[in-house]
Amino acid sequence: MTQALAAGLADGVIISPFHTPRVSIPRHQAGATVSAAVIAAGGEAVFDASTHARLLPGSDDVLHYDTWQLWGPSGIGLDSDAKRLEHLERVFARQREMSVPTLAPTLTLESPLGQAADDAFRTAELARGLDPACWQTLAGRRSFWRAGSDLDAYIGQLASLRAPCWALTVVNDIVVDNVPDLADTEAFSGLLRTVHSLSQRARVIICHADYAGVPAVAAGASDIGAGWDRGMRFFDPRSFQLTTPGIQIPASYVTQGRLGAVLRRDTGDAIARLGDAFATTLRGGPMPADDTAERSHHLRQLRDLVNAVSGHGVARPGRIGELRNFYERSMADFDSLLTRLPRTTLQESSRMRWVEQPYRALKAYAEAEGLWL
pLDDT of 177: 84
Sequence-distant (≥ 6) Cβ neighbours of residue 25 within 8 angstroms: none
Alpha-carbon distances of 164 from 102, 133, 198, 233, rounded to whole Å: 11, 7, 10, 24
Q: Count of H helices and E strands in the chain? A: 15, 9
**pLDDT for position 249:** 59
Write down the pLDDT at residue 54.
97
Helical pair 149-159 and 115-130, crossing angle rounded to 10 deg: 20
d(C-alpha 224, C-alpha 236), whole Å: 16
Beta strands in the chain (DSSP E): 12-15, 44-47, 108-109, 136-140, 165-170, 203-206, 223-224, 253-256, 261-264
Provide φ and ψ at 22, rounded to 5°.
-75, -30
Per-residue pLDDT of the chain (373 residues; tens, 9 = 90+): 788 898 999 999 999 999 999 998 888 899 999 999 999 999 999 999 999 999 999 999 999 999 999 999 999 999 999 999 999 999 999 999 999 999 999 999 999 999 999 999 999 999 999 999 999 999 999 999 999 999 999 999 999 999 999 999 999 998 988 899 999 999 999 999 999 999 999 999 999 999 999 999 999 999 999 987 777 899 999 999 997 555 455 689 999 999 999 999 999 999 999 988 999 999 999 999 999 999 999 999 999 999 999 999 999 999 999 999 999 999 999 999 999 999 999 999 999 999 999 999 999 999 999 999 8
Q: According to the model, what pLDDT value does residue 373 have?
A: 87
- Rounded CA gap, 257 and 129, in Å? 44
Residues 6+ apart with CB under 8 A from 129: none
d(CA 310, CA 63): 39
pLDDT at residue 83, rounded to an integer: 98
